[in-house]
């Protein structure tokens, strides 16, 4: 019997098992770095979401000619999630009678937000009818929001006029 070499072009079961084993070992070696990248991307996504919330709140304040605020929805820290709302009583807290515009879920584990508003201690911020940032007592406000976690830090700097910009290089929060 004469065999044609072109007829035997498939792979054997043993070759397939060896190829799958090599692929599994390669995936196990890469898995920790994939998880680290996924966690760092969580910081980026959080920073972009907070920047988008700030820009949307400012746009709503200008469009509605009303004060629009961003505040922690649990009353504690922004890391627990935040709400954007029309602040009817100007107290920077979401109360009965305030119109909810948006809600953001709590942050991924290991990611946190810290707001530094110069001389004022408040977690949230409010945009006046003019689009400027104001405190409860109508004083101008500017500052920095730091989003940190998993060896990554992103800062959002906002001026008193309500314009925000994002920076990937920023100093650690003062302690």
CB contact burial 41-52 (16+ within 10 A = b; e otherwise):
ebbeebbeebbe
**Total number of domains constituting the chain:** 1
Position 3 scores a pLDDT of 63
The whole domain housing 69 covers: 12-167
The verdict on residue 7 lying in a domain is: no
Inform me whether the pLDDT recorded for 138 exceeds 70: no
What element of type H or E holds 27? helix 13-64
Determine, yes or no, domain membership for 37: yes
pLDDT in tens, 109-128: 999 998 887 545 667 788 99
CA 51/CA 99 separation, integer angstroms:
21
CATH number at residue 127: 3.55.40.10
pLDDT > 90 in the chain, percent: 39
Identify whether the C-beta of residue 68 lies closer than 8 Å to the C-beta of residue 126.
yes
Q: Is 6 a member of any domain? A: no
Burial 83-120 (b: 16+ CB within 10 A, else e): bbbbbeeeebbbeeebeebeebeebbeebbbbbebeee
pLDDT tens, residue by residue, 23-41 = 988 888 877 777 788 888 8
Residue 174 lies in a domain: no
Q: Is 172 domain-assigned?
A: no
Asked if 144 and 54 touch (Cβ cutoff 8 Å), the reply is: no
In a domain, 175, yes or no: no
Residue 2 included in any domain: no
pLDDT tens digits, one per residue of 38-89? 888 889 999 999 999 999 999 999 999 999 999 998 878 888 999 999 999 8
CA distance 12 to 55: 60
**Residue 54 lies inside a defined structural domain of this protein:** yes
């Amino acid at each position: 019997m004469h065999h044609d070499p072109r007829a035997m072009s498939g792979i054997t079961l043993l070759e397939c098992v060896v190829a799958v084993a090599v692929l599994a070992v390669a995936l196990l070696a890469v898995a920790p770095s994939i998880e680290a990248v996924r966690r760092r991307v969580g910081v980026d996504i959080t920073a972009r979401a907070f920047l988008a919330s700030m820009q949307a709140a400012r746009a709503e304040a200008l469009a509605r000619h009303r004060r629009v605020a961003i505040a922690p929805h649990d009353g504690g820290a922004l890391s627990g999630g935040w709400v954007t709302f029309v602040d009817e009583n100007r107290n920077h807290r979401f109360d009965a009678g305030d119109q909810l515009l948006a809600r953001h879920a709590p942050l991924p584990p290991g990611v946190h937000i810290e707001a530094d508003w110069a001389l004022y201690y408040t977690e949230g911020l409010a945009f006046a009818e003019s689009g400027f940032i104001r405190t409860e007592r109508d004083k101008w406000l500017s500052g920095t929001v730091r989003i940190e976690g998993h060896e990554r830090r992103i800062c959002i700097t906002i001026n008193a006029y309500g314009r925000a910009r994002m920076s990937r290089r920023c100093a650690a929060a003062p302690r």
